[in-house]
């Protein structure tokens, strides 16, 4: 599973629609490991590897996309302040997620690998500079509705507070109103 984690992250980053397809086997793997069902865990690992191979085979060939001009007018004080607020909220969230990841790694538990994959999935979705109103809306939807945000924020047994939704959504709301429609 550790060897597949970077591939999973890359596949989900390249095609966010694959998240459900790839994270299902990760969760099943975790459950089988927890229950001591090693054969079933191995089968889930193979299923995950096959899904990754299929995703790679079906990925469109990379194309040179025309450069998009960011639509954030940083000369506009409101937009610049909103972007700065987002950057601060994102940095705080990434710091909390990094601390959680380190605590999970410190457990040396086989189930920790699946949890780390989920933490990294959240990190990869937090765009540093969403340049359009649509990008902000999609990010708001992800943060507001995705179950892995709930899992990351839930009680973790490490004494770590992970607060993502409230500060990130507040910063994104400010950024959305500062962007042109």
Residue 13 CA to residue 33 CA, distance in Å, equals 26
pLDDT per position as a tens digit, 118-136: 888 899 899 998 888 899 9
- Residue 163 confidence (pLDDT): 95
- Residue 58, pLDDT score: 60
pLDDT tens-digit map of 135-165: 999 999 999 999 889 889 988 888 899 999 9
Spatial neighbors of 161 by CB under 8 A, at least 6 apart, are 96
| pLDDT, tens only, 68-92 | 444 455 456 778 888 899 999 999 9
Yes or no: say if 51 and 25 are a contact pair by the CB < 8 Å rule. yes
């Amino acid at each position: 599973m550790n060897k597949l984690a970077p591939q999973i992250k890359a596949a989900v980053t390249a095609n966010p629609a694959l998240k459900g397809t790839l994270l299902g086997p990760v969760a099943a793997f975790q459950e089988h490991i927890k229950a001591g069902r090693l054969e079933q865990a191995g089968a889930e690992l193979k299923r995950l590897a096959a899904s990754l191979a299929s995703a790679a085979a079906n990925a469109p060939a990379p194309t040179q996309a025309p450069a998009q001009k960011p639509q954030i007018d940083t000369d506009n004080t409101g937009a610049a302040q909103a972007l700065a607020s987002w950057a601060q909220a994102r940095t705080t969230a990434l710091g909390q997620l990094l601390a959680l990841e380190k605590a999970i790694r410190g457990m040396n538990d086989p189930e920790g690998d699946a949890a780390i994959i989920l933490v990294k999935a959240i990190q990869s979705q937090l765009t540093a500079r969403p340049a359009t109103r649509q990008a902000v809306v999609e990010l708001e939807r992800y943060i507001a509705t995705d179950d892995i945000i709930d899992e990351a924020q839930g009680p973790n047994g490490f004494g770590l507070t992970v607060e993502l939704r409230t500060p990130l959504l507040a910063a994104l709301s400010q950024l959305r109103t500062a962007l042109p429609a």
